[in-house]
Amino acid sequence: MADQNKTPSHTWKEVFDVIGINLTLTREIRYPMVNATPFWDPNQPNQVAFSKDVHINLPGSKIKSFIRLYIPVDLPWKTKLPLIIYFHGGGFVSLSVANVEFHDHCNNLAARVRSVVASVEYRLAPEHPLPAAYEDALRAIHWIKSQALYSLHPDPWLHQFADFSRVFIMGESSGGNIAYHVALRASELDLEPMKIQGVLLDQPFFGGVERTSSELRLIEDPYLPLYMSDAYWSLALPFQANRDHEFCNPFIYGFDRVRRLPRWFVKDDEGDPLIDRSKEFVRMLELNKVPVVYRFNPGGFHGVELENNTAALAFFHDVKNFIYNTRAAED
């Protein structure tokens, strides 16, 4: 009988080809990247949001990073909007806030949800294995807190349009994993006057040594095959760590810390190999008596909102309901 914890035979060349690293271990730009659009762009007649890049400079830190901020073009008069701190996907090893799919997603997230969005750039593995991405995410939260405290270098968009008492942490795929870990870390800090009101996880990238039924059912999935999932973890986890490390498997250590956050939203799709892990995550939230809203859609695939407009609109609808404190359907 075959070992279910092993994946079909694939090569590292296949892995590196997918993520854009050549065999000399240098990165190649294989996915379109776009600049921020802080003003009206005549080439975008249906522009829904403005965006700009803001460099994060914290005292004593040598790490250079930035946030791409988004605001709707039709801002409400004298009304501040919820602030969503967003982390993109890419298996911890590829992609950027400037990739066109995440840029467009955040444009629409700001416009459809009526929010200010702060999309955080973070360091990538394998050059910077975990917890580097978590540290960069927390650095962004510290910077946003400094903005809430009226720093010496206030950002005009945040000060004019963001409601720091309504902050939400959100991530997609590996960004969902980052959102989970950074929310737990942030819950131990004094972030006043900033207040985290909830955490939103879209197809969060969790794992474990033991395979789930959905991982085996979708073992050669065209969007997230099991060999790629394993490769991401091999490249991202600390040296010699396996998939039952706490960065990968949320149930290994300290899951009860989820009680420190007021509300959770979890979304996944039956066509995503990660669906069973998302369902177990929701089950554990409920066992810990933590308020959670969830949506498990039939069909779909990993990253569906980035490619399918109907799925994206349904997702934005649920996110808006959650953020503005109404209930999305719990299927």
Q: Do the beta carbons of residue 84 and residue 113 sit within 8 Å? A: yes
Q: How many angstroms separate the CA atoms of 318 and 48, rounded?
A: 19
Q: How many angstroms separate the CA atoms of 76 and 78, rounded?
A: 6
DSSP assignment letter at 165: E
Active site residue 142: no
Active site residue 10: no
Task: Kindly give the pairing relationship between strand 116-120 and strand 81-87.
Answer: parallel
Active-site residue among 136, 155, 268, 272? 272
Tell me the backbone φ, ψ of residue 22, rounded to 5 degrees. -85, 175
User: Using N-to-C axis directions, what is the helix angle for 132-148 and 174-186, rounded to 10°?
Assistant: 60
Q: How many angstroms separate the CA atoms of 264 and 62, rounded?
A: 33
Tokens for 217, please give them.
């059912």
Active-site residue among 51, 221, 302, 318? 302
Q: How many angstroms separate the CA atoms of 204 and 274, rounded?
A: 8
Active-site residue among 51, 119, 173, 229? 173
DSSP assignment letter at 233: H
Strand order from edge to edge, sheet including 292-297: 49-56, 65-72, 116-120, 81-87, 162-172, 196-202, 264-269, 292-297
Question: Residues 40, 122, 146, CA angle at the centre, nearest 5°?
Answer: 75
Active site residue 272: yes
Which value, to the nearest 10 degrees, does the dihedral of the CA atoms of residues 259, 88, 295, 318 take?
Answer: 100
Among left, alpha and beta (phi > 0; psi -120 to 50; other), residue 20 is: left
Give the residue numbers marked as catalytic: 173, 272, 302
